[in-house]
Amino acid sequence: ETGVTQTPRHLVMGMTNKKSLKCEQHLGHNAMYWYKQSAKKPLELMFVYSLEERVENNSVPSRFSPECPNSSHLFLHLHTLQPEDSALYLCASSQDPIGSYEQYFGPGTRLTVT
């Protein structure tokens, strides 16, 4: 595997389900990010992790819970989601969280909440 991988690629879940999205980066980077991409909207930054510590939480509802067990892995735990949470969730990584602007994105998880 190379670059940034995400699983699953597609996920359909009910509003009462609990599921998790997984991201893995194979680039030796120190920072990882979660973004939400909805139709006709800019990419919305959700969370930033630097060396496994959360450094930014962009007013994201508590039904989204991130976890970064090490610098290569990032999870997004989902529970009691709403239909408006349906979107493409993108993971990204960069060498450093500050001063290194190049971010490398995974292919995303297409989430549908029914």
Partner 1 sequence: QQQVKQSPQSLIVQKGGISIINCAYENTAFDYFPWYQQFPGKGPALLIAIRPDVSEKKEGRFTISFNKSAKQFSLHIMDSQPGDSATYFCAASMEGAQKLVFGQGTRLTINP
Q: Does 74 bind partner 1 (CB under 8 A)?
A: no
Ramachandran area for residue 85 (φ above 0: left; ψ -120 to 50: alpha; else beta): alpha
Q: Does 92 bind partner 1 (CB under 8 A)?
A: yes
In a 10 Å sphere around its CB, with 0-12 CB exposed, 13-18 middle and 19+ buried, how is residue 63 labelled? middle
Q: Does 23 bind partner 1 (CB under 8 A)?
A: no
Among 21, 33, 87, 113, binds partner 1 (CB under 8 A): 33
Among 45, 72, 86, 95, binds partner 1 (CB under 8 A): 45
- Our CB check for partner 1 shows the closer of 83 and 99 to be 99
Q: Does 104 bind partner 1 (CB under 8 A)?
A: yes
Q: Does 71 bind partner 1 (CB under 8 A)?
A: no
Nearest one of 44, 47, 55 to 85, comparing CA atoms: 44
Q: Does 64 bind partner 1 (CB under 8 A)?
A: no
Among 22, 60, 80, 105, binds partner 1 (CB under 8 A): 105
Nearest one of 45, 40, 104, 43 to 72, comparing CA atoms: 104
Cα distance between residue 58 and residue 56, in whole Å: 6
Nearest one of 104, 103, 97 to 52, comparing CA atoms: 97
Among 14, 15, 55, 82, binds partner 1 (CB under 8 A): 55
